[in-house]
Structure 1
């Protein structure tokens, strides 16, 4: 038999375990009269689209001031019966669930102190498992959910209570993880089977990259502990789609099902439709900042330093021992205070009679007292500020590298330029600095997600026609405006929930459509770009329909006004194995679009059957 039926009369057992309910206060009377009851909210399996469990929530009489749990808890505190009230709620949930004859697990809220009480009050009469069976509950069907609003008064007793729950076969969960109460320490202490992610991180996760990254971080922690996650507060289809794609196992929220007197055996139809839909979510992007500690990967020169009292002769001897050293830092108690340029110092030192007159004097007299200091964890913007500052002495003197203000070594101007350049290139692979659209790495990741999910989509490659002569004629500032125009139109004509817009670089864009009306969107994009791009030409060019400019061979000829060509290829389930294959097909479609001069070209002969070949540099996902 898979379930236990509670006795017809469990009120005596509840009264014995909750003596405070015999009091004279309003809440005590509601408890003794049986006026409180539980409603049950479903928890859904986000992979299967089925109801996995239910959470029991206490309610007072309907249409009265006592209906909501917040009011009931306040009454319990005022009547000084909070512990007994919590136990009463737990036992009421067990009895109602036992009588409902429903399958699945039951989540029941409990504080740490209530957990201690429930596992100790009947210890003489048997184990915690025996107590659960007395209420008609199989221990393996129960999940005690630590609300964690209050810390346990006695940690030793709390640990004993946790052990008693585990020993019975019942499970534990942490509620509202991330709300400021729960902690990693508690997670490690309790070793819960489930952790509920607080609704703060779930609400609008489809729009907020910070929340997305937080949930992904919690996932990594859950992997370490072997814990199953439950996302709370799911209220929109877009949020549900993101959570499904993140492979969060279970969820709870009004979109999936509202609390009701009777347990619901099905999730709501709109939620089920999202779970069964193969289209993947377009995950929100965080602006990618190049890693802040860009200098840590460079070979900092482990150069010796000198002190405030080091003489000119001693410095000259040091430089003689290190012939490749371009400068020497002057350090006071591990803190750099000045920098001496080798060439400038030696120009003084080699002057006739310098050693005789100044050799034993402190060398700091020939130092730059305002050297450029660069912390190892400087971000790229701070480094760019150094490169563009009016003080360019770092080009010859180099700079002093510090870690938390302490001397580490020296760097050269060449190193600084290289560090900034490499960091900017890496950042551009994540987000294009001109349009802020996702770059090559996010594009590849999204294609891989689409392929892994078996989604059918359309990969489009957009490229501007006659952009180079326009850029040469009007300059880079107006050329940037043309590229930003394309970015704006691409975003405007795409569904942000279904369609992914990326900027490969230059005037190359990629759009991954899941919208069924993708062709209409592309055609509108082509038409509007042709109209709005003309505003970036001068009146003479608009009247002529183009400009006279040199081609790639230096020959002056006429170029029509800039337009856009979009090559599209339909990607069917199981047709391609990697993002690179999809990228190549999209690049071939773009090539055909530019040759056909039709605006939009749909490549029907995909999967390598076309005669077209890519020219060097035409692959979609450039390094």
Structure 2
């Protein structure tokens, strides 16, 4: 897939409630197979892990994400780029040295890159993974716990895994306008994260009412189709330029 140019990155914008503008994006890997069509990322990432190719895929993603950051950070040097690490990749002994070499060679400030690991990956129970993530954080990378609230040990993640950001899973966020229990869970989690010095990204924002409710809860960042769909780099750069990084109907239609 990589050799044939079938694998590419889409970028989904992230909204900053404090700055009232797009201030970051998540790099999302895609594969358009010539015969099977689009293949789900979780499917081909699992295949890459089983085939021993996850290293190659991961380092390709970070290289592409850094190139994208250069384009998206024009006019906004603090623009944040998020990339995902698979549970298997986090354990790799060479992870830290390779990431260090890449950011040195590319001349990017590691603080502009956020590494996302899912709560369900169980990295908090693996010493090698915890060590690697701590080392990346010491180098300046921001660490984000993705899909927070979906695993069996959410609070243990906060206690045992140093992180900078929590991403609230869409299953909680999407129902805050209709379910009082979800509102309480989301509001309380935001408060807890802030008390621990972390920022909160809410995923799955698909309507204006949810967006404004999250703002009232003092959420830090928002991501979802109402903000903008994942699109190729050139399209996101164009939309950011056209809208001044604000939300508009044109931006959401991208």
Which TM-score tier does this pair reach, normalised by the shorter chain?
0.7 to 0.9
User: How many angstroms does 1:82 deviate by?
Assistant: 5.8
Shift of residue 227, structure 1, vs aligned partner: 0.8
Deviation at 1:54, TM superposition (A): 0.4
How much does 1:108 deviate?
Answer: 0.5
Q: Residue 58 of structure 1 is aligned with which of 26, 29, 32? A: 29
1:85–1:131 CA distance, 2 compared to 1 (3 A): closer
Q: 1:227 to 1:127 in 2, by over 3 A?
A: same
Among 190, 195, 201, the residue aligned to 2:172: 201
Q: How does 1:45-444 map to 2 (within 5 A)?
A: 45-61=16-32, 64-77=36-49, 79-81=50-52, 83-84=54-55, 87-88=58-59, 90-98=61-69, 100=71, 102=73, 103=76, 104-117=79-92, 120-121=93-94, 128-152=99-123, 155-180=126-151, 183-262=154-233, 263=236, 264-265=239-240, 266-269=245-248
- Cα distance in structure 1, aligned partners of 2:168 and 2:39: 26
Aligned to 2:3: 32
Normalised to the residue count of structure 1, the TM-score between the two structures is 0.35
SS in 2 for 1:217: helix
1:237/1:255 contact within 8 Å kept: yes
How far the C-alpha of 1:192 sits from its partner, in A, is 1.2
Q: Does the C-alpha gap of structure 1 residues 270 and 170 become closer, same or farther in structure 2, counting only changes over 3 Å? A: same
- Cα distance in 2 between the residues matched to 1:31 and 1:132: 21
Q: Structure 1: 5+ residue runs without aligned partners? A: 1-29, 273-623
Q: TM-score, normalised by structure 2?
A: 0.81
Q: Distance in 1 between matches of 2:230 and 2:94?
A: 30
> Residues 171 and 192 of structure 1 are in contact (CA less than 8 Å); yes or no, is this contact kept in structure 2?
yes
Closer/same/farther in 2, CA of residues 40 and 96 from structure 1, 3 Å limit = same
Cα drift, residue 237 of structure 1: 1.1
Would you say the 8 A contact 1:112–1:148 is kept in 2?
no
C-alpha separation in 2, matches of 1:271 and 1:196: 26
| Structure with bigger RCO (C-alpha 8 Å, 6+ apart) | 2
User: Helix, strand or coil for the counterpart of 2:121?
Assistant: coil
Q: Give the length in aligned residue pairs.
A: 238
Partner of 1:4: none
Q: Deviations over 1:77-110 (max 9, x none)?
A: 5x52363355245334434425535341101011
Secondary structure at the counterpart of residue 268 of structure 1: coil
Return closer, same or farther for 1:113/1:152 CA change in 2, 3 Å cut-off.
farther
- Residue 65 to residue 94, structure 1, CA distance change in 2 (3 Å): same
Provide the rounded CA distance (Å) in 2 between the counterparts of 1:182 and 1:267: 36
Q: Any conservation in 1 of the 2:124–2:161 contact (CA below 8 Å)?
A: no
Whether the 8 Å CA contact 2:119–2:154 is kept in 1: the answer is: no
Change in CA separation of 1:148 and 1:96 when aligned onto 2, cut-off 3 Å: farther
Higher Rg of the two aligned structures: 1
Inter-partner Cα distance in structure 1 for 2:60 and 2:47: 14
Query: What pairs up with 1:553-592 in 2 under 5 angstroms?
Result: none
Shift in CA distance, 154/31, structure 1 to aligned 2, threshold 3 Å? farther
Distance in 1, matches of 2:183 and 2:27, equals 28
Computed over aligned residues only, the root mean square deviation of the Cα atoms, in angstroms, reads: 2.8
In the other structure, the counterpart of 1:500 is none
